Amino acid sequence: MLSITEKKELITKATANGKLYYTCLIPNLKQKDYDSFKTVSNPCRIDRKASLSVYRNKDFNKWLHKDFGDSNYHGDMFDFAAKFYGMDIKTQFPEIMDKMWVELQLDKVEHVVLEKLAIGWDGTNNVFYSGIKIPIAKYSSTQSFKKDDDKEEEPLLFYNEIPENELTILEKEFLAKTGISISIMNQYGVHFINHYSEVYEDPAKTKRRNKPNSIVWIVYDFKKYYKIYQPNPKRFWYVGKKKGVQLFGTPQIESQFETLTPLYLSAGEKDTLVLLSKGYKAMCLNSETQFVNQEMYNSWRNNNYDIIVAYDNDATGTAQANKLHTEFGVKYIQWPEWLKEKGGKDVTDFFALGGTKEEFEILCLIKPIEIKQECRLSVRTALQRLKDAEGCPDIISHADVLFQSNELTILFGDTGKGKSIFAVGLADAISKGTSFMGLENKCEPLIVLFYDFELSDKQFQKRYSNLNGVFYQFNDNLFIDNFDLSSIDLSDKKVVLEEELMKKIRLDLHATGAKVLIIDNITFLTAFSTEDGQVAMKLMRLLKELKTTEGISVLVLAHTPKRFGLGGITSTDIAGSKHLSNFADSVMALGASKKDTNIRYLIQTKASRTGEVKYDAENVILCEIEKEDSFLTLSFKGYGKEQEHLVPMTNDTQEEMKKKAIELKEMGKSYQMIAEELGTSKSTVGRWFAPPVATKN
């Protein structure tokens, strides 16, 4: 058996270093000179202006391609094949080699012939490609080339449709495996065929193609052109020139609905047929990467299409689904993990591998951005906004004004000072519908999903059991667990940790029915530092989107750098970017008293727009860490002023701060950054570094 490397070498030889492969895959590819072809339209995407260049690298004698309209398309024939097949060159290279090997029918060619094919010779000036002999033109470096301005004639296609009662075992297996209905195929102009003819005015150009006995051919009749699809080995080609954006599926028959109606946008014709056969409204574009503009989307909305994207579960499909959701607010299908584990990736695979209609219908995890049918404007009137607010859930306290329903709240503080203890205590109270530390909870018992990235199972057990090993009786409404990051392949550069974690969280929210989400802590949600402003903005955007689309309350824990405790705590003390605070609805902090090491205090550093400022520096909540039988918690101890719990300024502490300031300045920190880290003012830091004033004698 040949290795992947050997297959790659022989494919390279058999295709004259890639040249013949390009001529096989790209329609109308015409040679310009010895080292290049004329620029053509890219068959892998909608290319309104021909922008694909195929040329020979003289240094390596290797044929390459470059798309001047889309930089994603560049490289050698293997890169092009990956795009053409919709596969990933990095993770699916062996599969790409196998696919090229089969389609080139190199398993039928002897090794000695392969070497001759490398220079375009097999004794008849032809190369074998999928059973079709394609002539190879001979060129020389001194040959002159005439510009061809003649418009290419488009052929008529005549095909022999196979009647339902004459289907072979191959066609019947295809229908059984996919679940496609033959009546649905006929309804949408799709037919099994055993041969077809391309008929030109010039009889010499007319050609007839017969289907091999062991192959299934399906024709999609678009009237102006035709697509021939071969399921196994998978390939497709066109007869006639594709014209513009072609919608296949429901819109061909039902162009408009009376009311807003779900319509699935799938990756291709086969998936669309599967959905139509299941009784759904469905359609597809020319490809997943088909550009969708605002005008196109508006026409769908005007026709009352409630678009649900059902693209493939791969890098391209996921990226395009996210893009459509971001730009137009449409819903999209979030495929279950088992589909990929079983080797599937699309709608057809989902049902073929055992998925049910009931399971499929709950996979729409992303809710749409609502567009009111009675208002086509992109903005609302003030009165409309008030009316819309009537349908929104009321804002209810989970912990007085510090944490309210349907808001994103941050709790920050020094490491090891009790943030996690506070969060678990609050989660326990919310799950039981009770109040914590005297902070009013107006909600009924709610299901809480708590991600604990800090404690091991044993550490958690120690906190919430007594010396006799008796466990604290948590309510079944509280789900609290750590997260197995090893399940995410971070070696794949296309995998974005933040997005993968959000997918996992979203799945867990739906599985548990949780209405409150608590994350301990935010640094585990990203592979990058939250000190990076762009990272922080993206992270908070993802969390706010999660909060809005799922209609939940979110509490996120964060750290603060070590402080001298001279100045009061503010939102700028959150470890990392200030964007964390800017994008939160409310922020609170847990500080440690410098007067009594057992005392903690809770302070409001950013009040919600719907809540008042109750617990500022003049009225902090005092508490203490205590173990109540099996429960480690914070007990309410009253109220006080923050200043009473800060470090008093002395000569020693001032000198220590100056030394620290010098270290920070040598690290390149600005005066403002130094002031924030040391808990003092920018002007004070400026005086420390000001040159001494000269005295007059």
pLDDT tens digits along 653-690: 677 778 888 888 888 888 877 876 776 767 778 888 87
Domain boundary among 361, 388, 418: 361
Tokens 């689309």, located at residue: 549
Using omega within 30 degrees of 0 as the cis cutoff, is the peptide bond preceding 233 cis?
A: yes
Assigned domain for 516 exists: yes
**Total number of domains in the chain:** 5
The pLDDT value recorded for residue 451 is 92
Residue linked to tokens 């101890």 = 637
3 state SS of 629 = coil
Residues 465, 565 within the same domain: yes
Q: What pLDDT is attached to residue 64?
A: 93
pLDDT at residue 142 greater than cutoff 60:
no
Per the domain annotation, does 695 fall within a domain?
Answer: no
**Does 586 fall in a domain?**
yes
Most confident of 65-79, 85-99, 259-273, 528-542: 259-273
Of 315, 340, 361, the position where a domain reaches its end is 361
Residue 492 in this model has a pLDDT that exceeds 90:
no
CA torsion angle 389 390 392 395 (round to 10): 90
- Cβ atoms of 398 and 385 within 8 Å: the answer is no
Q: Are residues 475 and 353 both part of a single domain? A: no
Tokens (6 digits) for 99: 């696919």
pLDDT at 378 over 90: no
- Please give the span between the terminal C-alpha atoms of the chain, in angstroms, as a whole number: 96
Mean pLDDT of 203-218: 84
Q: Are residues 475 and 337 in the same domain?
A: no
Cα–Cα dist 621/394, whole Å: 26
Q: 208 and 80, same structural domain?
A: no
Same domain, 405 and 311: no
Q: Are residues 445 and 511 in the same domain?
A: yes
Give percent of the chain above pLDDT 90: 30
Which tens digit of pLDDT belongs to each residue from 12-39?
877 778 888 887 777 677 888 778 888 8
* Residues spanned by the domain of 272: 248-361
Scan for tokens 């040391």, then name that residue: 678
Per-residue pLDDT averaged across 310-318, rounded? Answer: 89
CATH number of the domain at 257, please: 3.40.1360.10
Tokens 């205090």 sit on residue = 601
pTM of whole model > 0.85?
no
CA 347 to chain centre: 18
User: Quick one: average pLDDT of 89-107?
Assistant: 82
Q: Is 317's pLDDT higher than 80?
A: yes
Within a 10 A sphere around the Cβ of 198, how many other Cβ atoms? 17
Place of tokens 């040598």: 666
Q: Above 60 in pLDDT, residue 181?
A: yes
E runs forming strands in 48-131: 52-57, 62-67, 74-76, 126-129
Strand partners, 199: 156
Residue 148 inside a domain? The answer is no
Nearest to 601 by CA among 423, 417, 388, 464: 417
Residue 533 has pLDDT above 50, yes or no: no
- Same-domain check for residues 446 and 483: yes
- Give the model's confidence band at 649: pLDDT under 50 very low, under 70 low, under 90 confident, else very high: low
Residues 667 and 574 occupy one common structural domain: no
* 237 membership: H or E segment, kind and range: strand 235-239
In this structure, what CATH number is given to the domain that contains residue 534?
A: 3.40.50.300
Considering only residues 142 and 358, tell me which one the structure prediction assigns the higher pLDDT.
358
pLDDT in tens, 441-489: 999 999 999 999 888 899 999 999 999 999 999 999 999 988 766 666 6
91 and 233 in a common domain? no
Integer Cα distance of 393 and 295 in angstroms: 33
Cis peptide preceding 126, ω within 30 of 0: no
Mean pLDDT, range 255-265, rounded to an integer = 90
Residue 667: per-residue pLDDT: 83
Q: 306 or 502: which carries more pLDDT confidence?
A: 306
Band of pLDDT at residue 47, cut at 50, 70 and 90: low
Examine residue 367 and state whether it is found in any structural domain, yes or no.
no
Q: For the chain, what is the total number of helices (H) and then of strands (E)? A: 22, 29
575 and 669 assigned to the same domain = no
541 and 547 in contact (C-beta within 8 Å)? Answer: no
In whole angstroms, give the CA distance from residue 430 to residue 399.
9
Residue 388 lies in a domain: no
Helix (H, G, I), strand (E, B) or coil at 282: strand
Same domain, yes or no: 344 and 465: no
Task: Say if residues 308 and 336 touch (Cβ distance below 8 Å).
Answer: no
Assess whether 491 and 428 both reside in one domain: yes
Domain boundary among 239, 272, 301: 239
Which residues pair with residue 612 across a beta bridge? none
Give the integer Cα–Cα distance in Å for 197 and 193.
Answer: 11
pLDDT tens profile 270-307: 999 999 999 999 999 988 888 888 888 888 988 889 99
Q: Is the pLDDT of residue 370 over 60?
A: no
β partners of residue 239: 226
**Is the pLDDT score of 48 beyond 60?**
yes
**pLDDT at residue 567 in the model:** 61
Residue 168 included in any domain? yes
- The answer to whether residue 384 sits within a structural domain is no
